[in-house]
Amino acid sequence: MQKEVVYIDHWKNNVADAKGWAGNTDLNDQDFETLANDIFEKTGVLLSITTLKRIWGKVKYQSTPSAVTLNGLAKYIGYENWRAFKHKVDEAMAPSGPATIPTRRRYSFTIPIIILVIVTIGTITIWKLSQPDKLTRKFSRAVSFSSRKVTDGLPNSVIFDYNVNGLSADSVILQQTWDKSRTERLSVNQTQHTSIYYYPGYFWAKLIANGKVLKEIPVSIPSKGWVGIVAKDPIPAYLSSTDIHLPGGLGISSKTLAQKIGGAVFNGQWVGFYNVKDFNKLNGGNFKLDVTLQNTSTPQEASCRKVRIDILGKRNAILIPLAEKGCVSDLDLFTSSDWLIGKNRDMSAFGCDFSKPQHIVCIVHDMVLQVYINNRLALNVPITQTISEIAGVCINFEGSGVISRITLGDERQMVLNEAFQ
């Protein structure tokens, strides 16, 4: 990070001044989570709080942030990209005046100019950053935003009631889920908007004006037990109870899936088995998930025979991928704090022999995530944020697959305990 440290310091100073953090060394996870959300809403670049902590020097890390991260930082404060931001900083720091001016005169003349330029740039940047905050402070109390479901099943239409009268904004947007593609522009003169949720989950719907989140509300779409869903765009296919209850457990056979999609090749075709409900406030910072599963596709049906275990929290998720050993380069794991990318990390521990069932255990305790595969430790990493209360579990198969047993709980309670055989 050394070659960028000067520019990163300039960026941090601009943001700290705009947010009133200047001189404050006691920043917490909520501060960084708020900043990450602000950056995402304004630029579309999603940064983890761990990344921001590294940039702020709260977590030791020697590598230079990625180009995507740096460009996102620059866009957040009004620049086209990181190069443009660096160029402006270089201009501000460069000596000015003709080269023939004696050293003493050049020094005394340049310093005030540099200070003036820096102050001007900082003032403009702070002004730009402060506008959404002013809008939020002025109008968020007056803005109303609520939701109600029309049914308890799937799919589920959700009616959003809102009132933004008096809000002076270029745009008002509803973002229905974490997926930024699910955004719709709202009329300032209307008071209702409806959306269909095809998948169960615990979502946070956001009312956004001028790139700033004014209000956010939870939208819980329970599954009412285990449901199987064949992923299709734009509308998925739901599996019947007969489809998913197999002699060997809960899942789907290759024959049934081929009938559902009209083909016998499953590459890129995912089927999810969801259980989303109230898990009695099970803490996502202290739990154990134990599952035995198998991707039952043949190599001819699905080349990589991937699996993904999603542990869904009210504020985040843990995503654990598995695949045939030759496909581990394609695996990306999300710890709830960071992405571990198979393209630049050895993920061979997550390669599986799906000719037989695989036993996976996921444990979070004392801000450490551990994953065991067939009783061997595959991952042991610290995390900087939890997923809050657990809201659901989803086992995803690329192609056909079966779950024979699953348990979920902590030392006090077992909230899920099912042997499907």
C-beta separation of 38 from 129 below 8 A = no
Tell me the pLDDT tens digit for each residue of 178-198.
777 788 888 888 899 999 999
If pLDDT is split at 50, 70 and 90, which confidence band does 57 have? confident
Angstrom distance (rounded) from CA 175 to CA 381: 32
Quote the pLDDT of residue 336: 92
The mean pLDDT value for 335-345 works out to: 92
Peptide bond preceding 218: is omega within 30 degrees of 0, i.e. cis?
A: no
Quote the pLDDT of residue 140: 52
Quote the pLDDT of residue 354: 97
C-beta separation of 178 from 203 below 8 A = yes
Q: Of 282, 233, 236, give the one whose Cα is nearest residue 414.
A: 282
Topology of the domain comprising 144-221: Immunoglobulin-like (2.60.40)
Could you tell me the sign of the dihedral formed by the alpha carbons of 145, 148, 153, 156, in that order? negative
> 32: which 2 tokens?
């960084």
If pLDDT is split at 50, 70 and 90, which confidence band does 58 have? confident
Percent of the chain topping pLDDT 90 = 54
- From the number of C-beta atoms within 10 Å of its C-beta (0-12, 13-18, 19+), residue 406 rates as buried
**110 or 144, which is more confident:** 144
Q: Tell me, yes or no, if the two domains 144-221 and 227-419 fold the same way.
A: no
Angstrom distance (rounded) from CA 12 to CA 167: 31
227-419 carries CATH number 3.30.379.10: no
Quote the pLDDT of residue 214: 87
**364 or 164, which is more confident:** 364
Tell me the pairing of strands 156-163 and 414-419: unpaired
Average pLDDT, the chain: 85
Angstrom distance (rounded) from CA 367 to CA 344: 24
> 236: which 2 tokens?
């998925």
One-letter amino acid for residue 92 of the chain: A
Residue 116 has pLDDT above 60, yes or no: no
Domain boundaries, the chain: 2-138, 144-221, 227-419
User: Measuring CA to CA, how many Å separate 407 from each of 19, 124, 145, 296, 364?
Assistant: 44, 55, 37, 21, 14
C-beta separation of 131 from 208 below 8 A = no
Tell me the pLDDT tens digit for each residue of 342-387.
999 999 999 999 999 999 999 999 999 999 999 999 999 999 889 9
**220 or 54, which is more confident:** 220
Residue 132 has pLDDT above 70, yes or no: no
If pLDDT is split at 50, 70 and 90, which confidence band does 248 have? confident
Tell me the pLDDT tens digit for each residue of 11-34.
888 888 888 786 666 788 778 888
The mean pLDDT value for 257-279 works out to: 97
Angstrom distance (rounded) from CA 327 to CA 342: 10
Here the contacts of 244-249 (C-beta below 8 Å, separation 24 or greater) are 244/273, 245/420, 246/402, 248/402, 248/404, 248/420, 248/421, 249/402, 249/403, 249/404, 249/405, 249/420, 249/421
Quote the pLDDT of residue 169: 65
φ/ψ of 168, rounded to 5, equals: -95, 105
